[in-house]
Chain A
Amino acid sequence: MNDIKIVDSTLRDGSHAIRHQFDVKTIRAYATGAEEAGIPILVVGHGNGLGASSLQLGFSKLPDVRMLSIARSVLKRTKLAAFLIPGFGTIKNDLNPAINIGLDTLMVASHCTEANITRQHIEYGVSKNLEVYGVLMMSHMLDAKRLVQQAKLMQSYGASAVILMDSAGAYLPEDVTIKIKLLINELKIDVGFHAHNNLGMTIANSLAAVEAGAKIIDTTSRGLGAGAGNCQLEVIVAVLMRKGYKLDLDLFKLMDNSEKITAKIMKKPQEISAISLTSGLAGVFSGFAPHARMAAKRFGVDARDILVELGRRKIVAGQEDIIVDIAANLKQKKSAIERENPIEALI
């Protein structure tokens, strides 16, 4: 019996770190390791969910159905989950094929103010006997009271839990405590938390969530994820065990998965770069960082300026195409300033 349900999103959110290039071997090895460690739920697919493999967000190496079937073939006790953002994946093209493979759990996500776009997919998942969680992304942008209203919509569609996602890595523990506590008081269903490490707070925030009553913690092995990365699975498990929570998980096996599988595919350690830190401070989606870096290089501007502008404009996940637009504008402004104040004139 687990006091806290640990969701393992390594093969979903983790894929941002390797540009969605999980191959057959890695998926099989990791899913096998997760099963052996006793992970209750393993989420698999493109980093932005079913149907999100695209020019907008980057193509994954393998189609979602392929990734899901590889994991399905090795999972027994561990539930197989998929993530879906309405507006990207559809029932016909993406969800039904996943259900046919033998999906157990579906996480339906929307921006924190748009929960009513999750109705169709939550209701559909419930009608197909899936366990369905609602996910509120970029949840730092909304106060606790309004988060409750949005979470209640997901509850009314049949979700059996609501997960607050700190997409920007912008929370501090006290924010987590206030929001999770109010959700738990107001909802009949379980509450969870999904952290990002931009401000180095994933473990502290996940622990704060659990101490406030959250029953689900969403994590990735070695913190694999976009930008500064996610809540590191084996670390939060160790911390929760130390705190006295009962977790039916093999901690050493989780560490082995991290050392022997995840570390091998990582392009670089999951560090907090200047860009990740800036995006945490600006409160923008962590997945924007590589796009901002690329656009900055192309237009010869500072990526941090792009991120601050993204934050100012409240650009949300899925709007990656705006980054180029902003970079082009910054370049125009920059060259206008240079024209008006030529360097020679300043000397």
Chain B
Amino acid sequence: MQKRKIKVGIIGTGNIGCDLLVKVQRSRFLECGIFTGQREESSGLKFAKKLGVKTSFSSISEIETNSELCQIVFDATNAKSHAIHAPLLKKLGKFTIDMTPSNIGKMCIPVINMAECLQEFNVNMISCGGQDTTPIACAIMSVHPDTKYIEIVSHIASKSAGIGTRDNIDEYTQTTSDGIKIFTKVPKAKAIIILNPAEPPIMMHNTVFAQIEKPNIKLLKYRIDSVVKDIRKYVLGYRLTLGPIYENGRLTIMNEVEGRGDYLPKYAGNLDIINSAAIEVAEAYARRTLRL
């Protein structure tokens, strides 16, 4: 069993940052070198301190001053801040995993393009909806390359959407649909995100629609099941709930994601899917660095 771990830094102490921290602490290959935010009194910093993690409220400056604190940086701030952080982190030579929908680095979905992403210095995790639905969209396109239009709808519990997500809802929507177009090459894509205030909070669930003329349901089901199996390797709570079904020229697939309940309760599958994907990338990078 290997002992050495790769140090990561987490910038941003909201829901995403705190949930990442819990996942890093569970990792065999990663440890948290610094957890840094802006407000000393933020509940996220208090949470990290309780876990015995080194914290700071100087945000990215802490990493600029003490570069040895981490090799990998998760930026869990917001799209605007990441635009400022990205060049600084590049200069510091940090492998950067951008959790915001800034669309600056290479878009990364582990089951699709992990190997390419490890050659980059900055990868973008798109959005929770993008992580969830893009692999399904790719499976559809692999069976029906002539598909003209794909649409995804992500429902997330209001309680799991922090202020970062809300302040970036435009980038979130745009980057998710851009991501589907880039990965699948479908001519037209649309992403819809709905924050659901229902109590008790709803589990994150997603719908993928595609306009197809004569769908090969058998092959679609086979390809979708196989990609779901791959996603479930790192997102344990990911499961199909409906489909593929076909009606009125519309193919429909639904899934839901039960979170692991790390930082927020199990309904927050949206945190799990994007954070588990990010950890998957960080661990692959760490294993390569550790020559494992």
Binding site for B on A (CB under 8 A): 51, 54-56, 86-93, 111, 113-114, 116-117, 119-121, 124, 298, 313-316, 318-319, 321-322, 324-325, 328
Contact = CB atoms under 8 A, between A and B. Distances in A.
Given A54-B192, A114-B197, A315-B198, A321 B166 contact: no
Given A87-B169, A113-B158, A117-B166, A56 B207 contact: yes
A92 B194 CA distance: 19
Contacts of A51: 190
B58 interface: no
B152 to A, nearest CB: 9
B163 A116 contact: yes
B185 to A, nearest CB: 18
A316 B197 contact: yes
Contacts of A54: 151, 190, 192
B193 A113 contact: no
Contacts of A86: 169-170, 173
Contacts of B242: 324-325, 328
B254 interface: yes
Contact of B166 (A90, A119, A298, A319): A119
A56 B192 contact: yes
B190 to A, nearest CB: 6
Contact of B169 (A92, A120, A316): A120
Contact of A314 (B149, B163, B166, B198): B198
B75 to A, nearest CB: 19
Main secondary structure of the interface of B (DSSP, over half): strand
Contact of B170 (A116, A120, A315): A120
A325 B241 contact: yes
B207 A87 contact: no
B194 A55 contact: no
B174 interface: yes
Given A55-B151, A87-B173, A120-B167, A321 B207 contact: yes
Nearest to B154: A87
A314 B172 CA distance: 24
Contacts of A56: 151, 153, 192, 207, 209
B27 interface: no
Contacts of A121: 170
B170 A321 contact: no
A116 B166 CA distance: 7
B102 to A, nearest CB: 14
A91 B190 contact: no
B200 to A, nearest CB: 10
A316 B197 CA distance: 8
A117 B192 CA distance: 14
